[in-house]
Amino acid sequence: MNRFFHPLSRILATALAAAMLTAPPAASAEKAVAIPPPAFDAPSTATSATAILAGGCFWGVQAVFQHTRGVTSAVSGYAGGTVKSPRYKAVTSGRTGHAEAVKVTYDPRQVTYGQLLHIFFSVVHDPTQLNRQGPDTGTQYRSAIFTTSDSQMTVATAYIAQLDKAQAYPRSIVTKVQAAPKFWPAENYHQDYATLHPESRYIAYYDLPKIANLKKMFPQQYRDQPVLIAAK
């Protein structure tokens, strides 16, 4: 299943989705996994903090965190590469070194960093897949955590070790943890994509189930109305 490489009108997107309905999916959507929460977290009394997470196509990652209570903003973008001001076409070539990532701004008094990671590893993506998620392959779709503080680094590395030790997945976690590099927001047409294009077959098959899994598995953290970039 190829994603759209440029903005499409709703009419064109709907027509394309309808034409593809009889085609078999290129890959199965990632399944949610019930895993234990982090044994170690870092609660904070700060009013705002930032997390940068990469777990495949940023459309779905953004959508999940936009539906997470305590998140005040979730921006799709690029992180971890060497090129300044990367654009989508260059990133999807795999030559810039960037990962599609989402910058999550949240209120630590309502949702902790550990709780965000719990959601990230449980419903956002499959952290055992190397350089791919669903139908998307390449280093730009890698699983990565870009930490913005020493405490985030400690929580993230400890949680991965905890999950591997507990054999929470049939394979080892491949998620890389590193200090956050420069984050570059993606083009405007990538923002709020899952909300604006529910008729897209890609969104319906790969991303809407993630939101449903968030609601089912994390009812206390779920918010029905997403916090959208367009509303800012």
What are the residue numbers of the active site? 57
Question: Which residues face 74 on adjacent strands?
Answer: 104
For residues 19 and 215, is the Cβ–Cβ distance under 8 A? no
3-state SS class at 157: helix
Kindly write down the DSSP assignment for every residue of 172-221, as one continuous string: ----EEEE---EEEPPGGGTTHHHH-TT-HHIIIIIHHHHHHHHHH-TTT
Task: Find, among 154, 48, 64, 68, the residue nearest to 108 by Cα.
Answer: 48
Positive or negative, the CA dihedral 191, 119, 151, 175 is negative
Return all residues near 168 (Cβ < 8 A) that are at least 6 apart: 33, 35, 36
64 to 8, 23, 24, 81, 216: CA distances (angstroms): 22, 26, 25, 24, 12
55/144 Cα distance (integer angstroms): 7
Amino acid symbol at 42: A
The residue count for the chain: 232
